[in-house]
Amino acid sequence: MFEKVLIANRGEIAHRIAQVLRAHGVRSVAVYSEADAQAPHVKAADEAICIGPPPVAQSYLNQAKILEVARQTGAQAIHPGYGLLSENAGFARAVAEAGLVFVGPTPEAIEGMGDKAQARATAQAAGVPVVPGSDGPVTDDAHAAALAEAMGYPVLVKAAAGGGGIGMQQVKKAAKLKRALQSCRDRGASSFGNDAVYLEKYIESPRHIEVQVLFDHHGHGVHLFERECTLQRRHQKVVEEAPSPFVERTPGLREGLTQAALAAARAIGYRNAGTVEFIVGPDGQFYFIEMNTRLQVEHPVTEAIFGVDLVREQIRVAAGEGMS
């Protein structure tokens, strides 16, 4: 087990990580912006270092400063929490190059699932059902129009690097497709630095189901059932429920979803905690949509039904220990 871990985050998740570390005899280092000097996560840690002014880009996203603090304090690992740098493959790689441990998956896994078109191809190659759509990004509007006609409207235009509903538009008519393509390209470029887009068939009245997975360094992987997050506003989850009543009453669905989630994760050599997301049609057919290569905000829902501490498991796995 580690002796000291730096927490590269703020707020609730940073406070939670500090508590878990203390409970298991591991010293914690908090980083904070000038605006967060009195924040709970700062007080919960054994050490706390200010890394910059209030703007996130100058503090919590300042990779060089975070790595400098890790070296100065003698931290052996960095836990990114969720959000901020948690799905930044460049940061995960920089942590490893600095001789530290990133509490999360490999940079290659983050990159592989971060690009939605690439993630779709990976899932498909692993035998996991995907929504009918383009095989890779579409760069030509005429080709996109032909694909949409072949699939049948409505379709979804999605930014390849998108997430959280950003850079995604439903298109019901051919006349609206060109504008949606350009809009999603622009949003992808401005929000993610990547203007690639792809097409998918829009599934009517879907359920949104996600599966929690956990893999260690010894090749062992488990799922912790599903969470249903169908109730959303503007593509943002409002309610998470586990286990899903819809899955409970649909014969064979849980087995299909959980095995597909494990297959998708294994296909990229995944390790640590992650969440594989699916949409499920009214007929019970499910389709892979993405994988979040981090601890998800909603993970306490799973902890509540399993009595497991996922943050503790993350740290154990990162330290090279087996899952408890």
Domain count, the chain: 3
Q: Is 294 a catalytic residue?
A: yes
Q: Are residues 98 and 34 in the same domain?
A: yes
pTM given for the model: 0.89
- In this structure, the answer to whether residues 64 and 94 fall within a common structural domain is yes
Cis preceding-peptide flag for 154 (omega within 30 of 0): yes
Domain presence at residue 45: yes
Give the per-residue pLDDT at 277. 97
Q: Give pLDDT, residue 251.
A: 94
DSSP string, 179-248: HHHHHHHHHHHHHHS---EEEEEPPSS-EEEEEEEEE-TTS-EEEEEEEE---EETTEE---BSS-HHHH
Query: Could you tell me if residue 52 is inside a domain?
Result: yes
- Binned at pLDDT 50, 70 and 90, residue 323 comes out as confident
Work out the average pLDDT over 164-180. 91
Catalytic residue, chosen from 207, 227, 271, 294, is 294
The predicted-structure confidence for 47-104, as pLDDT tens digits, reads as follows 999 999 999 999 999 999 999 999 999 999 999 999 999 999 999 999 999 999 999 9
Query: What confidence score (pLDDT) does residue 164 get?
Result: 72
For CA atoms 321, 16, 70, 214, the dihedral sign is positive
CATH of the domain at 161: 3.30.1490.20
CA distances for 117 relative to 60, 103, 256, 312, angstroms:
29, 25, 22, 32
Q: Per DSSP, what are the bridge partners of residue 232?
A: 237
> Do 254 and 115 fall into the same domain?
yes
Residues 145 and 52 grouped into a single domain: no
Residue 136: inside a domain? no
Q: How far is CA 54 from CA 7, 33, 47, 48, 62, in A?
A: 17, 5, 19, 16, 12
**Considering only CA atoms, which of 161, 136, 126, 137 is closest in space to residue 269?**
126
Is 162 a residue whose pLDDT tops 90? Answer: no
Name, in order, each residue with C-beta under 8 angstroms of 286's C-beta and a sequence gap of 6 or more: 129, 209, 253, 256, 257, 260, 278, 279, 280
pLDDT tens digit sequence for 219-241: 899 999 999 999 998 888 999 99
Last residue of a domain, one of 201, 224, 241: 201
Within 13 Å of residue 308, how many CA atoms lie on the same side as its CB?
Answer: 20
Query: Are 226 and 298 within one domain?
Result: yes
d(CA 229, CA 207): 8
Residue 244 structural domain: 110-128+204-318
pLDDT confidence of residue 136: 82
Whether residues 295 and 234 fall in one domain: yes
Identify the CATH number of the domain in which residue 15 sits: 3.40.50.20
Tokens describing residue 139 = 């760069």
| Together in a domain, 118 and 152 | no
